[in-house]
Structures are given as structure tokens and as C-alpha cells.
Structure 1
């Protein structure tokens, strides 16, 4: 009817069904009701309104559990009653009765409802139940405080009840029904507010309008009459301003020109007798809304319709829908007030909905959010991912800042590694002091004391460089970590390699016609240390100039933490540095292993073999352990490898010498060194001579 082309002169003084559908959906959304039954009639306007209602419900996340359409021109059959009964018997359901808005909700049907209405259910209707006889109050007890009714906004018109009591309907004498309607009001059983003062001898059995609670659409008719009156007034006044004289003839023309009145109705704006602002919207509808009523039966059995809210589609957003929850009296059968109606309980924060296969979207399972995700509202379809610097709390309903972590000096692991490093540094310093103090003894001189000093100092630096791996990583410390570690270890391994080559060369040089005499001396051993260390320095410089290490915030290594660590920059360069150390260690191990059977007194090869065996074992096991570790455990693994390999070199090479120097000084002399060999064999004599020559070459004796 709002189509301006098909019905250009249609005006409505009651809200449109479109607005009514929106109002019901807002009520459902306000209380969070998402699981509903709909019972409606099949007239054209209702079908269209219910379709809009269903779309609004689904748009707000609700679902239609059951929808039954009944014919509006006949009574409901018993089979249709059974369908309604089965649908209403379901729990957690809101039942919406959307019947033709021009007929009140049937109280007789309410009487049938009470036989199978379950406790804790709510009903929404657009029809107000009419009380036709006093004994019908009892029908409401079963559904009282459970009904919400949408009725067009209305007020009691001034003197309306007085008009009913005092009007003399002479002009309705020909209308038999109207005549009896007025006569029925003369009955003494009618309420005083509408009882007419007249003589009536008819015996009336049923007089439903005596107990009417709505008087049909009287308020809307009242506004319609006022609207037409004001439009006519504006039109007449407009004509008089133009000099038009209103005679009987041109007044008759008025009724044949509805488009003239149409113009004034379109632009109508007035106040009715109640002082209310009235105007027509662009669809020709009076800008009015709905009252939301609650059906209440008071303790004394009195029926009451309490206004608990309003819906005015013409009001500004946010003010169009209001509910006074204090005015609502919930039935005692409700365990939760206001009740909740869903196919499933709500998914709490920390969970998300997973729709059940083959079920409506309102029927779902609640599953926890995945790691790294949260949901901070109820019934969320998806969980949201926390930012990189945050992590879900235990309930997964909020993102909290990640804990910043690194291997610090204050934590137990850092304290333990620092203590071990400093302890080993002090032990190495003591051993260096012992070697310096006993520098002129045969055992110190026989093992090339210059290389021993270089090796001990490099081991001290190795123990200290492990401290660079502890503490808050910075770009500078990240660069110093790997380069210092690589260079100091290359010096240590170069010294061991030089020691091994010197021992082998010394014994080979004593053979007749040997040309290795010129390779004896400290100059060759120092050159080996310098050249091998220089290669490592070049590798480290190339690393720094191409892709140097840098401080990096690792947000994905450990759950709930931000690990501050050093990124190696170039992984290839890192493994080249380690590979070069492995190459030096391998060469030293092979040479020492081949020379292990040379006489003990002047031979360090056996000790170097064991030290290289420990060194290689540690670093071979380091690589898979390092790659399988996470977080600060990776740093701890590398520190442990540095300390363990350095300790292996220190213990295998220098502890036996310190034992002789400190605890067996009688063995630390020339005579003892000579007597160690077997003088009965020729080989021993040869060896003694060659050893003496070799020792002279070293400037020992």
C-alpha cells in the first residue's frame, strides 16, 4: 500500500509492518534471543512483513527453529494445533505470533496454549488479547508475565470515554449491530467509565466491548480525522489567500480533486488534541511508533498491560528503541532473568563457534581458540590473532605483552655459566703463572714455552669470550661474540698445531741426512700460529663486511616470550668460521695421532691427541644440539661447547705438566729425563743422541 505509483493517495496513521518487523528484531537483539518459532497468517501484508522479520533475525545472528503459516480466512485445524503444540514444547524458544494486525490475539487460543506451555518460555505478539467476559481473567494465569505485545502507540483521547457515555447515535439507527453496541453499554455490569445512562430492558448475555482494553484503533482513527481536518484547513486557507471564494459549487469540486488534498497531506505537520507532533513521512505514513506491552496478572487476579518499552522508527538512531527492564515482571518459572534462548549456550570469551554440520548457524560447538589467538566477546565466529609483541593470557580472552627474555647474568643459568667461566679463567691464569715461574725448568723448556704461553693466553680469552654470550644482546656484542670466539679459538688451535708439527719435526730432523734442521726453531712455530690465525681473521672480516651479526627480537621461538638474541647474519659465514676451526682441529688431531708413539719424555703428541679428541667430540655434538635448541638454550649450548672444549685443551695438555712441576719436582730434571729411556738397546742410544741434538736445536740444554 506504500507504493506511490499504485496507491498515490494512500496514507497510514498506524506504523507500517516493515517497522513492526524491525521493532521485534530489536527486542530479540536487546535480550540476546536467537532461537525462535514464528506462527503467522498467510495474508499478503503479513507474509511480506514476516519475510523481513526473518531476514532481520538472521542478520542479527538468530535462527528460525520453526515457522508455521496459517490461513487467515478460516479456523486453525486440529492438525495445525498439534504442529504448534510440538513446536512450543521445545525448550529455549521464543514464540512469535504474527497474525493479522487488525485482529486482536484470540483469548480462546490463549486458553488452549496454557495446556502445553512449558515453563521458562516467552511469547511475542502483535495482537492484544481481549477480555470479553470477567471469568476470562483465569485464562491468563498460565502465560502471564511471559508475553510481549507490540501495539501501535496510543493514548486516551480527551473526553473519549465521556463521548462514549453521552453520545446519542441517532445517525446509526439503521445499523443493527451499531444499535446493539450502544445499547449493550447500558448494562449495569459494564464498567462505570463507559457505562451509559440509559434505559435498556434487553437481556444481554455477552457484551465483550464492555470489558474492552483497547477500543480497537480509536487512537489511530482520532489521528486520521485530525490529519484530514488540518489538511483541509490548510488547503482552504491557502485558497482564501489566493482570493478564492469558497462557494457551494467550488466546495463540491473539492471532493473530485483528491490530488489537491494530497498535496497538503504530504506536507502536513500539526499537533493533535494531545499536543503531540504529527507529520507524514516520505511513504505517507504518520510518524508514530509502537508501545511494547507486557501482559501481567496481579495477585488479586486483575489483568494489566504494562508499557515496558517503545519503538519509534522515526526517532534518531540510538533513541528509537527503549526498554524499561525495571517495569518488567518476569514469571517465577524463569531460572535466569532475563531468560536466554539459544540453540546452544553462549561461547564464552576464549572460545569460538564451530557450526554443526547440517544444523542452522545458531547450533554450534564451542572450541577453544588456537595458540596465539583470542576472543574477547561471547559467541565470536572467529578468534583474532594477537600482535607479534603480545600473547594470549591463560583464558585466551585478552592479549598481554610477551615477556622479554634473554640469558642474563642475574638468572641461575647465567650465574652458573659466569661462575664456571671465571673459575676456569682463574685456573688458566694460575697455570700460566706456574709456567712463567718455572720457565727455566726442563719440562717447561722441553715443550716450547713460547707456544705454551700463547696457548694459555688464548684459552684465557676463550673463557672470557663466553661472557659475551651472556647479558642483553646489542649489535656490538653480537659482532664481538662470534668474531672473538672464532679468532681466539683459531689462535689456540694454531698453537696446538704448531706444537704438534714441532714435535714431529724435532724427531724427524735427527735422522741422518735429514733436511728438516733448517725448519727447527721458534720462527717457524710462530709463523704457523700467525698464518693460521690470519686466515680466520680474514674470514671474520669478510663476514662483518657482507652480513654481520645483529640483535634480533625473536617473537616466535618460545610461547609467550620475546627472545632477544643475536642473528648470525650470514649463516654461511658462521659455518665457515666453525668449519675452519674444525679443519685446524682435524689436522692437529691427525698429526698428533700419528706421532703418539714417539718417546714420552719429549713427546706432547699423546696429550694433544686426547685434547683434540675431546675438542672434536664436543663440537661435533654441538651442531645437532644447537640446531635442535630454542631460545636462550641455544646460547647456553654454545657457551657450554666453548667452556667444555677449552677445558679439554687445558686439562689434557697442561694438567699432567703441572702435576710434575708441583707434585713430582724430582722428575723435572735432566737426569730423570735421560733415565726415562732404555739404554740397553741400540734404538734407545740412537734416540738419546737424537734427542740431545734435538734439544740443543731447541736451546733447552
Structure 2
């Protein structure tokens, strides 16, 4: 039910290519998943003539005792954020590592006095949802971020269901109890035993800032929702088969109440249905969920709230070259760019009559421009409005 991450990595490259961003910074969680991310993405970047100014590995957890020490170590490297010409940062990690990234940025901003405005590009694991300590942290540094999010939609009555959740449900459910107490700063136990006031039971999830709780279903939850319905339909098909003892599957008779997991595969393979939102749920010949990613623009506000704006889609099943569609004019950029499309290159393009000269020891995205010798002209490459002059040829 979870799309292969490689689709997102390809989407990141196509997004960079779309805006001609060739000089970027990379953040990857410091674990085997981050290793795989870099191992797959780096060759894709190189093939598309995109360079990385730096790569920083972020802690994978936010609750380890040595996190503060780790942050102090990383802050020494964060001066690169001020010196870098890259205006685009690509970040990958799990939700917990994203919490650590936010902490690192928060600390870096305090240590460096000014954290430069950037375009953050993130994978579907990105979320603004924070633990309670981070609710007071400024989210403006991530204003205008772009992420590939697993497509989702709110099932009927989902919002109403969230509006009915009450702390009385906490009986036997430690998750609701601990979340309720942390989110609303109250206690569900006797107030005289704790420093917090007792919860009234009238608290509303809608009143919480988006960084603590969103009233819409996430892409991961939407996939779980569809998974439950897929299995339910598969079991229903098995039940119908059991009700007709004449039907056989590959030579064996089904005993419905003694179902083995491998027996469900036969039915799941052919599952295809419209869910309660009216969207098709099906698998391809490789047993992969056929789905798309939404390209989401995150617009943040000073009160720690935010809104998601869908500005495009990434469809891995589309025709080659048509996978990414964007409404670029709808994207809100970080305020430091004054709503002008950001530029993220190591060098400005060479002017007509000049060619690129490699700088020894630098990456190929960085170069000098030299005047062509007499009798030669610069060879023009690229689309109109995106001209590049790479080498001198005979005129």
C-alpha cells in the first residue's frame, strides 16, 4: 500500500530540472534509509547535471539522550548554510528525524542570528506536526516549502468524527490520554496531584494549531483506510466462494473461518473498487498500489498554523516525460524571494561570445566564463529563454 520511494526521488529531480535549479543542499536522516536515499538520488542528480553544494546528515531520533550533543556538533557545520549559494534544500527523513531537523534549524537560527530563506523540497514523510515543545517555534523558515505527498482525500463524515472525539475515550487508551494532556496542557487525573488544571472535556481538536493536529487525513492514513477496505472486500469474496461449495480455487476448497494469509493474495491481486470518496483503488501486475503523489506547497503563518496548497501532481504511471505536472504560478515562495521564482545555481550562465572553463577542484556546476578566441563563437544550447553557451566553435 506504500508507493516505492524511488518515484519520489525521480519527482524531486524532475522538479529541480523544471525550475533549472542545479545547485542544491541535501539533508538526509543518518540511518540506512538515508543511505539508500543518497545512493539512489545522487546518480540521478549527476545524470541531470545537478550538483550538491553540501550534504548534512540529521539525527534519526528526537528523544535520545545525546541529541543535544549531536546538535552542538552539527552546528559547527551549519555555517555552510550562510555561505552556500544554494537557494534550494532537499530534505529526506522519517517524521521523528524531521522533528530533529526542525530543532537543528531552530538552534542554527539562534546561533547564526539569521537563517537564510530557502526553498525546501521534501519527500512524503515530511510533516509540520510537532511535539509540544516545538509549538512555540517559528515555522516561517519553512514557508513556501514544496513536498511530494501521498494523495489523500477525506472520507465522508471524517471531519465530523474528529469533532466528536472526547477525552472520555481515554479509558483504556493511553494514546488519547497522553496526546490530550500534552496538546491542551491539562490533566485527566486529579488536579491536586499535578501542576496542570484538569481537562474540561470541552477541548476541541479544531482549536489546535496545525503543527499539533490536522483535521484532514494524511496520505499514510488514507492508504491504511484503503488497505482495510481492500482486505475486507477480499474476505467478502472468499465468503461468497465458501457459500458456493461448487466453486474451487486452483484445486482446493476454501474453509472461510480458517483463512491463511497466503490465501488472501489470490483475491487481493484482482481487487479493484471505488472507495467511499469515489476514487479507484487497484494494484498493477507487480502487486503495487496504483496511486499518484500530490505536489504540495506549504504556506505557514506566524501563529504556527499552515495550509497545504496542491500545486501539481506526480503520476508514475503517466507517459514518459509527462509524469510531473505543475501550476508554477500558484506556488507561494519564501518571503525573502519577493514572490519571484528563486534561482539556485553555482554560476550565472555565460554570456554570448563566452565559453565555460572548468575550475580545478570544483564541481562541474561551477565554472568560469572566458571570451572566445577571434574567429570563433559560443555554441548555444537550451531552450529559448534558457540559453547556455558552453564551448567555442568556429563561426
1:65 aligned onto 2:53: yes
> 1:86 maps to which residue?
79
> 1:157 maps to which residue?
155
Aligned residue for 1:150, secondary structure, equals: strand
Aligned residue for 2:229, secondary structure, equals: helix
Change (3 A) 1:183 1:241: farther
Distance of 2:316 and 2:96 partners within structure 1:
20
Conserved? CA contact 1:133–1:208, under 8 Å: no
Distance of 1:270 and 1:202 partners within structure 2:
39
Deviation at 1:357, TM superposition (A): 1.4
Distance of 1:210 and 1:301 partners within structure 2:
7
Deviation at 1:212, TM superposition (A): 1.0
Aligned residue for 1:353, secondary structure, equals: strand
Conserved? CA contact 2:59–2:97, under 8 Å: no
Match of 2:39 among 51, 66, 79: 51
Higher relative contact order (CA 8 A, sep 6+): 2
Conserved? CA contact 1:269–1:279, under 8 Å: yes
**Counterparts in 2 of 1:166-205, with a 5 A limit?**
166=164, 173-181=171-179, 200-201=199-200
**Counterparts in 2 of 1:196-235, with a 5 A limit?**
200-201=199-200, 211-213=212-214, 217-235=220-238
> 1:252 maps to which residue?
257
Change (3 A) 1:166 1:222: same
**Counterparts in 2 of 1:244-643, with a 5 A limit?**
250-254=255-259, 256=260, 258-298=261-301, 302-334=305-337, 337-348=340-351, 350-369=353-372, 371=375, 374-377=378-381, 378-379=387-388, 381-382=390-391, 392=395
Aligned residue for 1:225, secondary structure, equals: helix
Distance of 1:363 and 1:140 partners within structure 2:
32
Change (3 A) 1:348 1:224: farther
Aligned residue for 1:219, secondary structure, equals: helix
Change (3 A) 1:163 1:332: closer
Unmatched runs of 5 consecutive residues or more in structure 2: 187-197, 249-253, 382-386
Change (3 A) 1:79 1:119: closer
Conserved? CA contact 2:120–2:146, under 8 Å: yes
Change (3 A) 1:186 1:360: closer
Distance of 1:45 and 1:133 partners within structure 2:
26
Change (3 A) 1:306 1:333: same
Please give the per-residue CA displacement for 1:313-340, whole angstroms capped at 9, x wherever unaligned: 1223343212212211223422782111
> 2:384 maps to which residue?
none
Distance of 1:157 and 1:221 partners within structure 2:
12
Deviation at 1:165, TM superposition (A): 3.5
TM-score between both structures, scaled by the size of structure 1:
0.45
Pick the structure with more helix per residue: 1
Change (3 A) 1:161 1:372: same
> 1:8 maps to which residue?
none
Aligned residue for 1:264, secondary structure, equals: helix
Conserved? CA contact 1:88–1:95, under 8 Å: no
> 1:130 maps to which residue?
129
Aligned residue for 2:325, secondary structure, equals: strand
Please give the per-residue CA displacement for 1:493-526, whole angstroms capped at 9, x wherever unaligned: xxxxxxxxxxxxxxxxxxxxxxxxxxxxxxxxxx
Change (3 A) 1:209 1:88: closer
Larger Rg: 1
TM-score between both structures, scaled by the size of structure 2:
0.75
Please give the per-residue CA displacement for 1:633-692, whole angstroms capped at 9, x wherever unaligned: xxxxxxxxxxxxxxxxxxxxxxxxxxxxxxxxxxxxxxxxxxxxxxxxxxxxxxxxxxxx
Conserved? CA contact 2:167–2:201, under 8 Å: no
Unmatched runs of 5 consecutive residues or more in structure 1: 1-12, 189-198, 386-391, 393-701
Change (3 A) 1:209 1:37: closer
Distance of 2:27 and 2:239 partners within structure 1:
48
> 1:671 maps to which residue?
none
Please give the per-residue CA displacement for 1:449-484, whole angstroms capped at 9, x wherever unaligned: xxxxxxxxxxxxxxxxxxxxxxxxxxxxxxxxxxxx
Change (3 A) 1:140 1:170: closer
